[in-house]
Structure 1
């Protein structure tokens, strides 16, 4: 029951975060690459919503079909957080982000991770999972850590550290670090949803960093034109 409530709250949170990100985009003071952020949020809204309603739908073809879209949104959108990170670094005017080769590397890395996730989604089996009052479908993983998530997190951590050094803004660095550490620690809790709190902190830190950069841009613009 607790997990059901938590997934509902996560869904509401991500809807609010999506609206917040759209508001920032409308200010037009951002890099093109940062437009990938709301796409990732859409995936998280759908992911948490389907997990929330899974116990009401029950195991079967309907939930299975709805869950397939969860996997595809995760595979196609989540790796683009790398592009968001590149946009953040570029918008913060970090020196290495302005080199053409860096843009190429970020684009290639994103394409590779999306391809990897697509292959995994196609080739792996899907199984029903029932735990703590939640019924959902999940991809049957092979042994080993989630490579895509680790790569994305490490790249964003590097960018967060770079922004902290360049702008003395630590929120992104802390948010990514919290997710990495929190996900690595084995918790003995009667819940799987609680672990997703680290993801909430992570996504919120990215949104706050986005807002901070927009404010910095607007301040500089006013200073130059005033």
Structure 2
């Protein structure tokens, strides 16, 4: 099982590099959230894979805290990345100041809620399922992840209809499916994250028009 999560880490590392190259080449600001989230998920998957080697205890607990910090602080930024891709796909209505204001309010609210759930109320509990040694937050309330994925699905539909390809939508739907099966398959949730970010990066590369993201 540890090998699977190391493979996920390598996959996210590849997506991180692709996003950095895209940002440097085209200066598309919508690539920035992808860089932050993929970097965080490299760390996330490495810690899951190496948890049994580190062993249960205070050291692994301390190393686990950045995982939740990353999820709370960076995952909602994917809403901005999705909006940038929608704009670059040619959806004129998405360029209005009202849409920008709504997106900013939603992202700030989701980050605030995520910090309340996954940082202020962080209570780590040891898990040893499937040979993995990890610490999970027993007080986590997944409002922010659910809201983010719903908005990304909607963005994926818009982008597909404007000729930007189905990759973001397919990645988001894969994340939904992985979440549903996550209780049965320990690796499913992280596989869904990899599919989602791959959909983002593929769409980021496909939509070449670097208009205002």
TM-score, normalization: structure 2? 0.92
CA shift, 1:29, in A, is: 4.7
SS in 1 for 2:80: helix
Q: Following the alignment from structure 1 to structure 2, what is the Cα–Cα distance between the partners of residues 34 and 9?
A: 23
Aligned counterpart, 1:223: none
The 1:29–1:91 alpha-carbon spacing in structure 2 relative to 1, beyond 3 Å, is: farther
Question: Which of 36, 40, 44 is equivalent to 2:41?
Answer: 44
Q: Following the alignment from structure 2 to structure 1, what is the Cα–Cα distance between the partners of residues 115 and 187?
A: 25
1:7–1:193 contact (8 Å) kept in structure 2: yes
The 1:26–1:53 alpha-carbon spacing in structure 2 relative to 1, beyond 3 Å, is: same
1:34–1:85 contact (8 Å) kept in structure 2: no
2:23–2:32 contact (8 Å) kept in structure 1: yes
CA shift, 1:175, in A, is: 1.5
Q: Once superposed, which parts of structure 1, at least 4 consecutive aligned residues long, lie more than 3 Å away?
A: 185-188
Aligned counterpart, 1:60: 57
Alignment of 1:2-13 (within 5 A): 3-13=1-11
CA shift, 1:133, in A, is: 0.8
Aligned counterpart, 2:191: 197
> CA deviation digits over 1:116-169, x for unaligned, max 9?
011112124111111111101110036xx7211111011011111001111151
Question: Which of 149, 153, 161 is equivalent to 2:149?
Answer: 153
The 1:43–1:101 alpha-carbon spacing in structure 2 relative to 1, beyond 3 Å, is: same
Alignment of 1:20-99 (within 5 A): 20-30=18-28, 32-99=29-96
Structure 2 gaps, min length 5: none
Higher alpha-carbon Rg: 1
RMSD over equivalenced CA pairs, Å: 1.8
SS in 1 for 2:139: coil
The 1:168–1:20 alpha-carbon spacing in structure 2 relative to 1, beyond 3 Å, is: closer
1:79–1:152 contact (8 Å) kept in structure 2: yes
CA shift, 1:70, in A, is: 1.0
Matched, 1:166 2:166: no
Structure 1 gaps, min length 5: 221-226
TM-score, normalization: structure 1? 0.87
Question: Which of 160, 171, 175 is equivalent to 2:171?
Answer: 175
1:160–1:170 contact (8 Å) kept in structure 2: yes
1:34–1:88 contact (8 Å) kept in structure 2: no
CA shift, 1:196, in A, is: 2.3
